[in-house]
Structure 1
């Protein structure tokens, strides 16, 4: 018994020590240990060849390792960034977005570049974008914030054209925010990029002619705007809605929601927004080729009124730099973004080429990028500040850099 108790630790010592010559039993133990380690290493390598992120990076999903979340990052100062942009001489800019020309004294708002966490945005290449878009048609449909983005893209792409006279509005119409439909043609590429002003995407019924003031307008959440017939056949569709889907722009203006011929005076604004998107989804399923048509839903673009709302003295001319506290964006993600995300997931399940263009967080941090009091010539001095739209060049250029990156990720 005493001898057995003394030999057990000795065997352990032989196994652990390389200076002691092992006996046959120890050789077998060594072999078993080496075999076990070899099998373990082989299993790890084999498993990671099949599903590397699940084993090596357990905190990340497979999809996140293959693509970047461009919506998450920070604004960084870049003095060279303005040299890669267009100028206010671009002929496709609405006067209301030309902030420097309208008296804004600083130019710092164009010197900020969006830097995603963990990756870089592909550098916008106008010539490459145009070549990839040859013989195609792009449509921007939605509110005036979508027009902001449309004008930005036109100016960004014009930098890749040698003969600017071959870029023009197809019907000869001037660029003005009061036009409901404009189509810019890049002749050398047989490319048209169109804008349709449809703030709600769906129909707003007008009261009958000579109706009394008690007869009010109704938003038809079950019927798309008549412009939708012109979207059929487009290769890329970029929808932007949400800016008008507020209590003030609906109920306070005395508008009602209407569905299937019935007025609903109590329907919640976000419920109505969701129903309108379902109407749009049904239109997509009916009219868009699932193999070729690429669809983007841009998220909500935050406003930055301070000290009041747009009609109660709110202003945004006190900032000349982005928000620096990246952990506390100025707004939480609005509910309409979640509604859009849910619809995008439904359409992805149906095998549609649809993407969520999420610009809310990066835009929320740019309180310095609005026209504010520097509005277009002829605007009354006491007119509200513009803290909804954006100076151009400016923040919407980054939205288009994200659009370009997402098109590339989809093998555009």
Structure 2
């Protein structure tokens, strides 16, 4: 179903004034110093105070800290929320509800080397996005991250599910509105990012042949993304399926197609071109002023073929010494990164910001975080789920990353404004 265009609030001319940027920076400073125990967080967590004594110091710390390099360490205090404190967890990710007995997978925290990853501060996040909009564009793992964010915000703000106002397909196209902050949060379904069409005459199946039009963005997201302030793009697992590749309306090759007379192109080719088209589309939109984040490839952890009883039963993380990223996973990551770097370079010339949300290697270390047979999905009742992530669980770290990058972007922007003045 077509997801109808949504008009969302933007600052005048799509830009923040220096005064507003200064206000946001001061707000971040104050909120990091206020004891977080004043808010009702549910299960207790120890939140260290973050020292942001000056803009310069914050920028220097950001340059020195690679938040994506580190290790998972025990965190016995547990998660930010539970299945009782967040009523928005859907059955697909609700592992505890459907009988998962071990809870250790919720008691690990990502520790970067040589620095600290700040805890997720829901009040800070909502102040940053006040009067703005955020879209998760991609497949169901992106939607999984959005549901994690809903739970992280649930203890400090109420939200309304307004999906039915914009689409009849409320499973794939979701729209949430935080009235107190005039903030819209949406998930836009587009598992290939580009225009697609089913090629299999027998209709849909789990391994259906698809036509991918690699130089045409999927209008389900591209036709309405211009007004969004933050866009998080992510796709992955669908590119293992058989595909015909089209460019300029002509068949140029295929991946896993049954014919022998068509040029064989790898899954990485389709992946590369899909991201290239997505980024170029954003760069070409005249009114788009948003910040774009690429959330990188999320590994699955099947111990055998997914359609032959494969499962993920481990209950503790790997260490980087135990298990290295597999070659195909690294290739997916490098393919994305290459296209992002090209978009970043072009974006600088056009005044657009692109950022990296690198989750590939850290999530390869978390085979314990998947629903396995403890999730419930009406689409999938026979196979184990080693693709998505339990809530609460390690995917909550992605939104810690997201908030960290958003704050760094605001401080960088403020620094530029102050230097101009």
Q: Structure 2 length normalisation: TM-score?
A: 0.73
User: Are 1:262 and 2:250 matched, yes or no?
Assistant: yes
Matched residue SS, 2:95: coil
Distance 1:221 1:380, change over 3 A: closer
**Once the two structures are superposed, what CA deviation does each residue of 1:289-324 show, in whole Å capped at 9, x if it has no partner?**
57x411001111111111x1101121112x111113
Distance 1:348 1:378, change over 3 A: closer
Matched residue SS, 1:334: helix
CA contact (8 A) 2:175 2:185 kept: yes
Q: Which residue of 2 aligns with 1:160?
A: 156
Matched residue SS, 1:232: helix
User: Are 1:71 and 2:68 matched, yes or no?
Assistant: yes
- Give, in angstroms, the shift of residue 102 of structure 1: 1.0
User: Are 1:284 and 2:282 matched, yes or no?
Assistant: yes
- What is the total number of aligned residue pairs between the two structures? 334
Matched residue SS, 2:398: helix
- Give, in angstroms, the shift of residue 283 of structure 1: 0.7
Tell me which of 155, 158, 161 is aligned to 1:169: 161
Matched residue SS, 2:228: coil
Tell me which of 324, 330, 341 is aligned to 1:329: 324
Provide the aligned C-alpha RMSD in A: 3.0
Q: How do residues 49-68 of structure 1 correspond to structure 2 at under 5 angstroms?
A: 66-68=63-65
- Give, in angstroms, the shift of residue 205 of structure 1: 1.8
In structure 1, C-alpha distance between the alignment counterparts of 2:342 and 2:310, rounded to whole Å: 38
Matched residue SS, 1:192: strand
Any runs of at least 4 consecutive aligned residues in structure 1 with deviations exceeding 6 A, and if so which? 62-65, 173-178, 208-211, 377-381
Mean Cα deviation higher: 320-329 or 357-366: 320-329
Tell me which of 290, 294, 299 is aligned to 2:296: 299
CA contact (8 A) 1:74 1:326 kept: no
User: Are 1:96 and 2:92 matched, yes or no?
Assistant: yes
User: Are 1:271 and 2:269 matched, yes or no?
Assistant: yes
Q: Which residue of 1 aligns with 2:5?
A: none
- Give, in angstroms, the shift of residue 85 of structure 1: 2.7
Tell me which of 224, 235, 254 is aligned to 1:241: 235
User: Are 1:182 and 2:174 matched, yes or no?
Assistant: yes
CA contact (8 A) 1:114 1:398 kept: yes
In structure 1, C-alpha distance between the alignment counterparts of 2:202 and 2:361, rounded to whole Å: 46
User: Are 1:142 and 2:138 matched, yes or no?
Assistant: yes
Distance 1:99 1:71, change over 3 A: same
Q: Which residue of 2 aligns with 1:32?
A: none
Distance 1:271 1:89, change over 3 A: same
- Give, in angstroms, the shift of residue 344 of structure 1: 1.8
CA contact (8 A) 1:357 1:402 kept: yes
For structure 1, the 5+ residue unaligned runs are 1-61
In structure 2, C-alpha distance between the alignment counterparts of 1:357 and 1:198, rounded to whole Å: 19
In structure 1, C-alpha distance between the alignment counterparts of 2:249 and 2:86, rounded to whole Å: 45
In structure 2, C-alpha distance between the alignment counterparts of 1:313 and 1:76, rounded to whole Å: 31
User: Are 1:127 and 2:123 matched, yes or no?
Assistant: yes
User: Are 1:112 and 2:108 matched, yes or no?
Assistant: yes
CA contact (8 A) 2:83 2:89 kept: no
In structure 2, C-alpha distance between the alignment counterparts of 1:314 and 1:209, rounded to whole Å: 28
Q: Which residue of 1 aligns with 2:373?
A: 373
- Give, in angstroms, the shift of residue 401 of structure 1: 0.4
- Give, in angstroms, the shift of residue 173 of structure 1: 7.5
Q: Higher Cα Rg: structure 1 or 2?
A: 1
In structure 2, C-alpha distance between the alignment counterparts of 1:177 and 1:85, rounded to whole Å: 28
Q: Which residue of 1 aligns with 2:217?
A: 224
Mean Cα deviation higher: 393-402 or 325-334: 325-334
CA contact (8 A) 2:300 2:387 kept: yes
In structure 2, C-alpha distance between the alignment counterparts of 1:376 and 1:208, rounded to whole Å: 28
User: Are 1:314 and 2:307 matched, yes or no?
Assistant: no
Matched residue SS, 1:96: coil
Distance 1:207 1:134, change over 3 A: same
Matched residue SS, 1:322: coil
In structure 2, C-alpha distance between the alignment counterparts of 1:173 and 1:91, rounded to whole Å: 22
